[in-house]
């Protein structure tokens, strides 16, 4: 008789649908990026890219902007994850490219939170990223992406 549920048996792996902003981002130049964001405000990737750009500068204004952009990308991603069957836990693999915008937003949110002195939020984001995708955690923190055997 089983005394506790097998949590691994219920493991969910979520693969988000293709992000229509990605093709436009790769085709457009920097001067037109905000137009892509305007056309695709639900794209976590757009918000993550804005946050990452702000994080390149360490002044307070850029940090606050990065936090706001990353928070937007995080919430837009949560909405899409839920619509894709995610129930609040499970793998969100980095290897599935459409997941990367959300994972990058989580990472950027943690970075910005840390710069703002929100250490609990920083730690929560880091743990959420690791729980979602160890590969994303490694890649976004500067480790090379693992290759298949």
> Would you state the pLDDT for residue 143?
76
> Would you state the pLDDT for residue 105?
98
- Residue 1 burial (CB count, 10 A): 2
Cα gap 112→118, rounded to integer Å: 9
Q: At 23, is the secondary structure helix, strand, or coil?
A: helix
Residues of the chain predicted below pLDDT 50: 1-9, 149
Q: What is the pTM of this model?
A: 0.87
> Would you state the pLDDT for residue 146?
58
> Would you state the pLDDT for residue 139?
97
> Would you state the pLDDT for residue 12?
82
Provide the percentage of residues in the chain whose pLDDT is more than 70: 89
> Would you state the pLDDT for residue 7?
41
| Burial of residue 90, with CB atoms counted within 10 A of its CB: 0-12 exposed, 13-18 middle, 19 or more buried | middle
Would you kindly state where each structural domain of the chain is located, as residue ranges?
Answer: 40-140
Cα gap 88→69, rounded to integer Å: 22
């Amino acid at each position: 008789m089983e005394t506790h549920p097998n949590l691994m048996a219920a493991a969910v792996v979520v693969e988000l649908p293709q992000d229509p902003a990605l093709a436009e981002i790769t085709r457009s130049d920097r001067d037109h990026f905000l137009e892509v964001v305007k056309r695709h405000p639900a794209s976590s990737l757009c918000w993550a890219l804005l946050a990452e750009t702000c994080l390149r500068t360490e002044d307070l204004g850029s940090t606050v902007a990065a936090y706001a952009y990353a928070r937007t990308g995080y919430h837009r991603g949560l909405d899409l994850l839920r619509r894709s069957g995610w129930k609040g836990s499970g793998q969100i693999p980095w290897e599935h490219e459409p997941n990367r915008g959300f994972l990058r937003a989580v990472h950027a949110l943690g970075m910005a939170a840390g710069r703002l002195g929100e250490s609990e939020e920083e730690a929560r984001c880091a743990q959420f990223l690791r729980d979602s995708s160890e590969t994303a955690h490694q890649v976004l923190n500067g480790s090379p992406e693992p290759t298949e055997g």
